[in-house]
């Protein structure tokens, strides 16, 4: 079925990268349409409601936070490129976070949005490794974005500078949990990006979480003249002569386009191509990711601090001698993970979130969740919810689990199965494929990736991904 619709650019997925790309393209007069299978925008950083209560998925914090006046960083770049006023994002800074290792988190490194705090923590806890740490930081600062360089193991580079395996694990765990699609390692360029985003720059959050960011982007896109079809996914991509020529929508409708940007993942995009088009590829085929997570969300009738959960915004924890960032044998690995307490951003003296929120993220095994019958699935979620919260509680030693249970007014938990269902990412792998395509290339010359599998990470990174792919592959090409 043809409708005759023709666009300069079509974008698959209304997540942060797709919306950012759309804003750029529409602003410069391209006729652009975003197709999103779900009814809500946001993709991997979205939200949902249960009984009138909004839950964010994805966003723990906006990384890459820098204060006004700091220029030449990713946050400044997205503000300029999307013509956003930083006030519109309403970012509130974190109070403090920790990396806590050991059975009760005895070895802890505090970090804030002031990097010197982290440096002095390293000097306090690992005095004989300060020089190695400084050399590593220097290397990080000097590493330029090099999309065509061969991949380098971050574990190897960190190990060359930091001889203490405990400190090396502590430094690796933040980039791992906030963006690694590989088990027990991460490509060094990606490590640099995440180390910069979280530790050299910092964490912040809009008061209302992800929703105001999405509203802002959707609004900007609409005002720039961009079109959007929600609840309308893409079933396949029609190719001719090595180029994408049209999209077949879930409805059976066909729309033509000069360029296609896909934010849905490398493997997921390839699956939209006919077999013959896929096989024309003369490069390595993308590999599906396997690293997946569960996350518990608890809502309290008071601030988590009143239940002993303290003032930390995030806590990266691990109880074992070595950090195992890998797909667990069982359903969940509670030995390590990330605690996020959204109440512990600094919203100013007169503003508090209406309820307490505690989120805990742990590694999970997709296969052990995907095939379960409904009853077992619900029972397993319930069981793991308790184990995850108890495990996280060890790293916030004042946490009163009994009082916490009494103050809990709602809970929810997402699993790799939830992620796959709502985002379409294979295996529920939120960080996508372990091999990234920084230039966004695919089998077809006018089909490019943006978002997770292009490889810029985090909230700001994903927007920058959409921006750079729109610039590079569409806007910088001068056409008639």
Least separation in angstroms between residue 71's CB and another protein is 4
How far apart are CB 147 and another protein at their closest, in Å? 14
53 C-beta neighbours (distance < 10 Å), count: 14
CB neighbourhood size of 184 (10 A): 16
Distance, CA of 15 to CA of 37 (rounded, Å): 11
Q: What is the CA radius of gyration of the chain?
A: 22
Nearer to another protein among residue 69 and residue 375 (C-beta)? 69
Cβ atoms of residues 349 and 366 within 8 Å: no
Nearer to another protein, 86 or 222 (CB): 86
Q: Which is nearer to another protein, 69 or 348 (CB)?
A: 69
Residue recorded with tokens 């805990």: 360
Q: Which is nearer to another protein, 80 or 352 (CB)?
A: 80
| Nearest-approach distance from CB 381 to another protein, in angstroms | 44
Complex with another protein: residue 81 or 96, whichever CB lies closer: 81
Residue (of 101, 129, 134) closest to 116 by Cα position: 134
Question: Rounded to an integer, what distance in angstroms lies between the CA atom of residue 361 and that of residue 340?
Answer: 8
Instruction: Provide the binding-site residues for another protein, judged by CB under 8 A.
Output: 27-29, 68-69, 71-72, 76-77, 79-81, 83, 85, 467-468, 471, 475-476, 478
Give per-residue burial for 433-443: e unless 16+ CB within 10 Å, then b.
Answer: bbbbbbebbbb
Which of 403, 387, 338, 322 has its CA nearest to residue 155?
A: 322
Report residue 445 as tokens: 């010359």
Cβ burial, residue 106 (10 Å; 0-12/13-18/19+) = exposed
Q: How many residues does the chain have?
A: 480
Pick between residue 256 and residue 258 the one whose CB is nearest to another protein: 258
Smallest gap from residue 208 Cβ to another protein (A): 24
In angstroms, give the least distance from the CB of 194 to another protein.
Answer: 21
State the nearest-atom distance from the C-beta of 269 to another protein, in Å.
25
Nearer Cβ to another protein, position 306 or 471? 471
Rounded to the nearest whole angstrom, what is the least distance from the CB of residue 326 to another protein in the complex?
37
């Amino acid at each position: 079925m043809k409708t005759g619709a023709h666009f300069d650019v079509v974008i698959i997925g209304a997540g942060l990268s797709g919306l950012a790309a759309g804003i750029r393209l529409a602003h410069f007069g391209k006729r652009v349409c975003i197709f999103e299978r779900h009814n809500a925008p946001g993709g991997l950083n979205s939200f949902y409601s249960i009984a009138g209560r909004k839950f964010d998925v994805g966003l723990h914090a906006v990384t890459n936070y820098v204060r006004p006046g700091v220029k030449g960083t990713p946050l400044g770049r997205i503000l300029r490129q999307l013509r956003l006023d930083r006030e519109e994002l309403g970012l509130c800074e974190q109070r403090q976070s920790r990396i806590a290792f050991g059975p009760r988190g005895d070895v802890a490194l505090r970090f804030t949005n002031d990097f010197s705090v982290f440096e002095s923590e390293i000097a306090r806890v690992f005095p004989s490794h300060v020089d190695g740490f400084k050399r590593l930081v220097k290397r990080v600062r000097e590493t330029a974005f090099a999309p065509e360089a061969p991949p380098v193991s971050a574990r190897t580079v960190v190990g060359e500078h930091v001889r203490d395996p405990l400190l090396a694990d502590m430094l690796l765990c933040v980039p791992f949990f906030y963006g690694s699609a590989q088990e027990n390692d991460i490509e060094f360029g990606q490590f640099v990006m995440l180390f910069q985003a979280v530790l050299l720059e910092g964490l912040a959050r809009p008061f209302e979480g992800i929703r105001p960011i999405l509203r802002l982007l959707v609004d900007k896109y609409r005002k720039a003249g961009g079109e959007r079809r929600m609840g309308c996914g893409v079933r396949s991509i029609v190719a001719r002569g090595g180029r994408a020529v049209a999209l077949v929508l879930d409805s059976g409708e066909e729309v033509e386009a000069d360029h296609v940007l896909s934010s849905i993942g490398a493997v997921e995009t390839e699956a939209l191509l006919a077999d013959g088009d896929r096989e024309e590829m003369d490069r390595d085929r993308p590999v599906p990711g396997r690293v997946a997570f569960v996350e518990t969300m608890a809502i309290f009738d008071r601030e988590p601090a009143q239940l002993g959960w303290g003032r930390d915004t995030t806590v990266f924890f691990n109880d074992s001698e070595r950090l195992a960032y890998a797909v667990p044998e069982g359903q969940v690995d509670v030995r390590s993970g990330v605690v996020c307490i959204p109440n512990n951003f600094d919203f100013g003296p007169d503003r508090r979130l209406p309820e307490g929120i505690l989120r805990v993220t742990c590694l999970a095994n997709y296969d052990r969740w995907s095939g379960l019958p409904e009853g077992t699935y619900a029972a397993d979620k319930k069981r793991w919810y308790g184990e995850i919260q108890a495990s996280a509680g060890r790293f916030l030693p004042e946490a009163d689990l009994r009082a916490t249970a009494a103050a809990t007014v709602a809970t929810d938990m997402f699993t790799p199965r939830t992620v796959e269902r709502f985002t379409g990412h294979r295996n529920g792998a939120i960080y996508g494929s372990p091999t990234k395509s920084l230039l966004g290339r695919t089998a077809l010359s006018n089909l490019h990736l943006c978002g997770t599998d292009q490889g810029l990470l985090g909230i700001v990174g994903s927007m920058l991904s959409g921006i750079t792919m729109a610039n590079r592959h569409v806007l910088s090409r001068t056409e008639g």
